Every structure is written in C-alpha cells, then in structure tokens.
Structure 1
Amino acid sequence: MELTMQQIKQDTFLKEKDKLLGFIRGRVSSLEEAEDILQDVFYQFIVGFETIESLDRATSWLYSVARNKIIDRYRREAARPRRASFGFMGQASGEGPLTLQEILPDLDNSPDSLLLKEAIWDEITDALDELPPAQRKIFIQNEIEERSFRELAEEEGVSINTLLSRKRYAIMNLRKRLQRFYKDVMDEEGNAH
C-alpha cells in the first residue's frame, strides 16, 4: 500500500516530535519557547516537504531547521541592548568583567558591519556548541536569558561560586575562540578583510 504525502508527513511528525522537542528544550529557556520553535519547524517541514531530497534526510533536515530557529531566537534576544553586571569576577587577574558584551566589537550598522555581526554570531553559536554542557548552560541562562546567579544556584542546587566559575570558563573559552576569529577577519586597523 502506497502512503500518501500527507501520511508520510504525519508519520514523520509523530515519530520525531518528542525527540525534537527535547533537543530544542535543552537549548532554550522554557517549554513554551521550545514548543513555539517546534511548531515553526514543523510548519516549515509541511511547506518545504518537497524540497527534502529523500525521506531518509527528513530527520536531519528537521534538526538543521530547529538549530537555525534556535540561533535566530538567540540573535533576536542578543540584539536587545544589555550588559550583565559581573565586574568583580576576574579582576584580581586583571581580566576585567566577564560578559558577552566585553568580547563583542563595537560595530555600526553599515552593510559590512551587519555581515560581520552575523559571522560573529555564527562563531559564537558554534563555540557554544563546543563548550562543556555545564558551562554552556550557565552562559545561556545568565547572558542570554538574563537570569540571576542566585536564582540559578537555588534551581541547580549548587553554590553561586560554582556557577560563577563555570561562566568564567565559558567566557574565557568564547573569548579565545573569538580572538582567533577576529585575527582571521580583521586587519591591524580593526577593519574587516
């Protein structure tokens, strides 16, 4: 019996829904946000089903779209001006505040700068994926979701100092990665190649 396109879409949705929701939930702040992204992903799946080369690739396509939706969500959140107060960490070693804003360049809104900003966010999201899970989680919760260390310490059942340490290592790793990136794309005057 030949399955109709509608049945194939429905079967794929039912098969992947829970796993995909778990994947998304592990990367965003709330279940509601994860469900919103999941809905967007499956809408794109239904609309773009014919563009998927084979049914075998449907799952990887879904995860790729989900990852892109998550990145888009982070970019929108990060576009809001903010600066987390984190001034006392790292000052003993002369490192200064350890915040996301500290490691981002101050760019205007010219077309070249907008392209550079997009490349930087791609680099940051790739670097976040490479962080140990505990460092990635605290970085996202504190910098992107703007949750307090006190709240997170109570929720996780660990000390604030443990969370501060994890975030410090996350920022240091991101800073190293971005310094290499900046060196590759910027000339000595600070202009993009």
Structure 2
Amino acid sequence: MEPPLTPTQPSPQDREIATAVARERPRLRNFIRRRVIDQDEAEDILQDVFEELVEAYRLPDSIEQVGAWLFRVAKNRIVDRFRKRREEPLPETAETGDDYRLDLELPSADAGPEAAYARTALLDALRAALDELPANQREIFIAHELDGQSFKAMAEATGTGINTLLARKRYAVLHLRERLQPVYDGFEI
C-alpha cells in the first residue's frame, strides 16, 4: 500500500503524464509546425493534444503506445482545424465594403518553400478548373468572388435574373470543389 500523497508529491499518474509530455513534446511540436503555418495555431494544437492526453489518462482504459496516440490525436486536430477553416464562408465584399482578395486566403509565398509550392499548385489548379467551366458560369464566379461584384449589380448590367446568376455560380462552385479537392487532399495536413 502506497503512503498517502502530500500536496507537493505528484501521483504516479501525474508522473507518467509529465514523463510522456517531456519525452514527446519536441517531436510532436515539430510534427505540428511542419503542417500548420501559423505558429500560434500550432502551439494551440499542441496544448489541445496534451489536454486530451490528461483527459485520456482519467479513463479506465490505459493508452498502450502514448507516442503513437499523441501523433494520431495531433493529426486529427490539424485536420479538424483545416476543415473548420474551410467551412467558414467567404466575406461578401459588396455588402461589407471590404476589399476581399482570394490571393490573401492562399498560403503566403513568403512563408517558405512548402507554402510557395502549395500556393502555386493551388493557383494553377484553380486556373485550370476555371477554364473548364462554361463561359457564363466562369464569368459569374470571377465577377462575384474575384472582382467583388454583387449579384444585384450583375443582374442590372446583364439583364439576367438574380436567381439565374446564383444558379450559375452554384454550378461553378460545385465543379471547382470537385476539381480542387484532390489538389487540397494532396497536401500533407
């Protein structure tokens, strides 16, 4: 039987957690930083992973391979963050008055060779996918997303109904998602 713990003496479970964190922190931090450009976000993910480790240690089932478990959780957190970011709607420039630019949403060319490559690959894939669209869909997508024109202004300028313009843009977006998903998936996240 173990002696009672004093307030300054950590439990065996706390010692196991501290040992695992000390052992895996450098490799795990590097793993996350290679996949997440924003270093603050990378640190947030690292902290989330360690918080989940502490919670997992409280469960009745033990973790067999702590290192492998941590890397799997880190990868899942990274994927979750990218999915969450991808689901955020693009700002409506016509209504907000902001100068939205698609190129600012892409990885920065100055963020290192991986980011520059990703930016080039995404832009090339976007150009190719836009070229595949019927002219009326391509024009609406470019006018709305890249030039910031409102559907109302486009409807007035072309004499085409807003619902028709919305439908054309929807078809363009569906096509672009389908064509760009393999490119996005090709990047290690």
TM-score by length of 1: 0.46
TM-score, with length taken from structure 2: 0.47
